[in-house]
């Protein structure tokens, strides 16, 4: 074979090999890029951000998000943050085109050494642009195929976007631990500061987290986190971004997680959960959890705290009244320091502390606490803990014999709940109450819900007893019986009969209603009958005026959609909610103008575009101003001279009515000052008696009083305004529309059913 032929054959072979290689590369490239995402989608990048609920005073009380992120545009990121992250992650960022060849070379050599030493391969060498490509479009699997796709996408991203935009995407997308995505969210999570408030040491700490947030978590691994943080500060100094003095100061700076004081935080879990469900129903999961809504509510931070504290205090006071139900558990005294911190914390324990009884004497007990400190429990703080007695078949609970010594209650090894007293190192025995309750506070002029607490502890039960629980209002409903009488022509001084009577409520079944005093009082003024919360007088009234006026009042005031035409309903046997009943009382204070509760003022999207604003409330006049004012004055006398006197706050004008049901299953108090309407309910979730004579006046009214004492502190007395001639056109039009009782459309003006949602 001649040389020419051999040369030709070689040429053909080489060409074939080159063609195969080219074809293989082409096929590989097509295979890699066939399903490659379009980086143009980044132009419309809207990262998931946090939806926040704001109180009326601007305080944030709830946040909801799938990923905790607060987006920060590039121009608002402090330069030191940018310099630090670039120094640690990609110092050549502003000079490469998406791939840093020197970085790849370093990563290759490191991986080669890992293979040689029998260690696993770590890809490494990724630029910030590559990390954007990976975080937005690819998985985190450590494969060569993924790495090649990452590089190809990085080139495309660099072609389409400025360096500033790429860096903005990166700093807002990265995960930095603790459920925090992006630098602003991480700053708030780790240090309770905004990005602009961080020290150099804190910025440097955040910059080391993208690679391994759990590995460098300072609060778990202090030494390694500080060592890496200080390395980052050293690199900043070497690159000329900080001075030597700044470096030394930052490296000596301790890291500590600062938290808001508990007393300044807003516990509004029941309110926020009610609102969360509402937003979710109206706008859907995506908008609520990803679109960073700004929701401005009606909540008042100070009143919310007062309401929570008052309800808790009242429920604890009632609970102590019926004694000690026993220890939480037991632990060995010998190794208590090793076991108490892992002991399961009971739900609703806060603000109490967990403790173990270490030694018991006649007049005191020594205790060990969760934080491993020691304390004393003297007899005087244990004497309330008489044995709780309530057995099947018993109507009322009771308590055992008097506590004479600490050993009557506690033994060594008992795990208990305690709270600190004013004396240092001295504690009081506590108990998580079983009883539940709720409190709601309204502004009668606007209908704004200023405070709402739906139970003792949201941790224990998310059921909101202010809006979800339907219970019999008992005597609190009598107010509207007397209102229907005033609308029918009676006056506050009209004489009515409070005489014993009986009814056949079913064939062969007689009903003998009685007053709580088990006495009858003959002829009494109407206002005295309300003041003393008599039972027989309102029954006689309804016999005289008929049930229809009462049914109409119950419906138009929003207490219930339908009141059965049965005489027993006069005593509040028809179930309602605390919010409905409180709004009904608010209407009386508001001069007969319907109070329509609302809890949201406005909703904005992430770009601060208004997407919802509470509409102007359409005013409805439900009763005349004179009738409303007469009821207010009658309710005021109930507080100053009658059955509601436990609600009286000296120096202030208050009005209200207690509510109690048969066998004391439910206790209510609904009352108001000149500008606040407050409703309180107390009862067991699984209805049972609160105890003999545990009326609304004994159980619920003190909670109202405690709240009002705080809310009105420092304010001058404000009497209830007398009726005056209103010069508003809509009042006359409404009066005309409802003047004819036979006009069916008049009911539309009385439709005051509390809305199921804010929308």
Instruction: Write out the catalytic residue numbers.
Output: 89, 475
CB 438 within 8 A of CB 464: yes
Given a contact cutoff of 8 angstroms between Cβ atoms, the answer to whether 428 and 379 are in contact is no
For residue 555 the two structure tokens come to 């419906």
Report H helices in 34-100.
79-89
Instruction: Work out whether strand 353-360 and strand 414-420 pair parallel, antiparallel, or are unpaired.
Output: antiparallel
d(CA 438, CA 449): 14
Strand 60-64 and strand 51-54: the pairing is antiparallel
* Torsion, Cα of 451, 292, 287, 284 (10° steps): -20
684: buried, middle or exposed (CB in 10 Å: 19+, 13-18, 0-12)? Answer: middle
- CA of 192: how far to CAs of 179, 196, 197, 257, 293, in Å? 14, 12, 10, 7, 21
**Sheet of 294-297, strand order:** 60-64, 51-54, 294-297, 600-604, 610-613
Give the Cα separation of 72 and 220 in Å (integer). 28
Distance CA 498, CA 202 (A): 75
DSSP 241-283: SS-HHHHHHHHTPPP------GGGS---HHHHHHHHHHHHHHH
Place of tokens 């209103």: 726
CA 755 from centre of chain: 20
Q: How far is 254 from 226, CA to CA, in rounded Å? A: 9
How many helices and strands in the chain, by DSSP H and E? Answer: 24, 24
C-alpha angle 63-438-700 in degrees, rounded to nearest 5: 150
For the chain, the distance separating the N- and C-terminal CA atoms, rounded to the nearest angstrom, is 93
Q: Is the dihedral of CA 154, 160, 163, 164 positive or negative?
A: negative
Q: Which of 291, 293, 35, 39 is nearest to 165 (CA)?
A: 39
Distance, in Å, from the CA atom of 623 to the CA atom of 556, rounded to the nearest integer, reads 9
DSSP 459: T
């Amino acid at each position: 074979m001649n040389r020419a032929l051999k040369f030709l054959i070689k040429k053909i072979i080489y060409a074939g090999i080159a063609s195969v290689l080219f074809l293989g590369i082409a096929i590989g490239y097509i295979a890699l890029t066939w399903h490659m995402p379009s980086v143009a989608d980044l132009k419309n990048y809207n990262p998931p951000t946090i939806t926040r609920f704001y109180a009326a005073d601007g305080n944030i009380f709830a946040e909801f998000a799938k990923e905790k992120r607060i987006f920060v545009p590039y121009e608002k990121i402090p330069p030191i943050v940018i310099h630090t992250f670039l120094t640690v992650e990609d110092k050549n960022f502003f000079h490469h085109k998406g791939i840093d060849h020197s970085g790849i070379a370093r990563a290759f050599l490191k991986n080669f050494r890992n293979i040689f030493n029998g260690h696993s391969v770590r890809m490494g060498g990724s630029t910030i642009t590559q990390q954007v490509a990976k975080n937005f479009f690819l998985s985190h699997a450590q494969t060569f195929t993924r790495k090649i796709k990452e590089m190809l996408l990085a080139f495309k991203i660099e072609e389409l976007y400025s360096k500033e935009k790429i860096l903005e995407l990166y700093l807002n997308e990265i995960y930095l631990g603790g459920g925090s995505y992006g630098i602003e969210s991480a700053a708030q999570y780790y240090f309770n500061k905004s990005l602009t408030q961080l020290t150099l040491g804190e910025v440097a700490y955040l910059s080391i987290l993208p690679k391994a947030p759990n590995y460098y978590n300072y609060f778990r691994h202090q030494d390694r986190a500080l060592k890496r943080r200080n390395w980052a500060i050293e690199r900043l100094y070497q690159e000329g971004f900080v001075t030597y003095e700044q470096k030394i100061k930052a490296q000596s700076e301790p890291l500590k997680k600062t938290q808001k004081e508990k007393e300044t935080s807003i516990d509004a879990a029941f309110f926020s959960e009610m609102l969360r469900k509402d937003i979710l129903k109206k706008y859907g999961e995506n908008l609520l959890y990803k679109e960073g809504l700004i929701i401005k509510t009606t909540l008042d931070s100070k009143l919310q705290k007062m309401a929570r504290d008052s309800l808790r205090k009242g429920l604890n006071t009632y609970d102590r009244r019926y004694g000690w139900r026993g220890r939480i558990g037991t632990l060995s005294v010998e190794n208590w320091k090793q076991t108490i911190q892992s002991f399961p914390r009971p739900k609703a324990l806060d603000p109490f502390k967990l403790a173990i009884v270490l030694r018991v004497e006649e007049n005191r007990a020594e205790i060990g606490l969760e934080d491993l400190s020691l304390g004393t429990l003297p007899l005087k703080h244990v004497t309330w803990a008489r044995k709780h007695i309530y057995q099947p078949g018993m109507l009322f609970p009771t308590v055992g014999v008097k506590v004479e010594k600490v050993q009557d209650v506690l033994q060594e090894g008992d795990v208990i709940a305690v709270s600190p007293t004013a004396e240092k190192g001295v504690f009081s025995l506590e108990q998580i109450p079983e009883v539940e309750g709720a409190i709601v506070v309204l502004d009668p002029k606007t209908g704004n819900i200023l405070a709402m607490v739906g139970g003792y502890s949201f941790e224990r039960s998310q059921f909101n007893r202010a809006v979800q629980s339907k219970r019999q209002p008992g005597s609190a409903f009598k107010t509207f019986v007397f209102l229907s009488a005033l609308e029918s022509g009676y006056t506050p001084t009209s004489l009515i009969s409070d005489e014993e009577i009986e009814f056949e409520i079913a064939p062969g079944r007689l009903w003998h209603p009685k007053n709580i005093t088990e006495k009858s009082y003959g002829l009494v003024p109407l206002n005295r009958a309300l003041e003393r919360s008599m039972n027989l007088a309102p029954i006689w009234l309804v016999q005289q005026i008929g049930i229809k006026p009462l049914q109409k009042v119950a419906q138009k005031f929003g207490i219930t959609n339908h009141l059965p035409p049965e005489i027993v309903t006069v005593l509040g046997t028809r179930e309602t909610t605390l919010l409905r009943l409180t709004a009904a009382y608010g209407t009386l204070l508001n001069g007969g103008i319907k109070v329509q509760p609302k809890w949201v003022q406005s909703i904005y999207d992430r770009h601060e575009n208004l997407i919802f604003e509470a509409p102007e409330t359409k005013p409805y006049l439900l009763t005349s101003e004179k009738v409303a004012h007469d009821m207010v004055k009658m309710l005021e006398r109930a507080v100053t001279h009658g059955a509601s006197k436990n609600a009286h706050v000296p120096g202030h004008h208050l009005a209200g009515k207690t509510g109690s049901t048969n066998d004391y299953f439910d206790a209510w108090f609904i009352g108001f000052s000149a500008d606040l309407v407050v409703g309180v309910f107390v009862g067991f979730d699984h209805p049972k008696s609160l105890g003999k004579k545990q009326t609304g006046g004994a159980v619920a009214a003190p909670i109202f009083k405690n709240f009002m004492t705080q809310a009105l502190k420092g304010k001058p007395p404000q009497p209830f305004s007398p009726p005056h001639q209103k010069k508003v056109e809509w009042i006359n039009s409404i009066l005309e529309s409802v003047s004819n009782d036979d006009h069916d459309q008049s009911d539309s003006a009385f439709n005051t059913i509390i809305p199921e949602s804010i929308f």
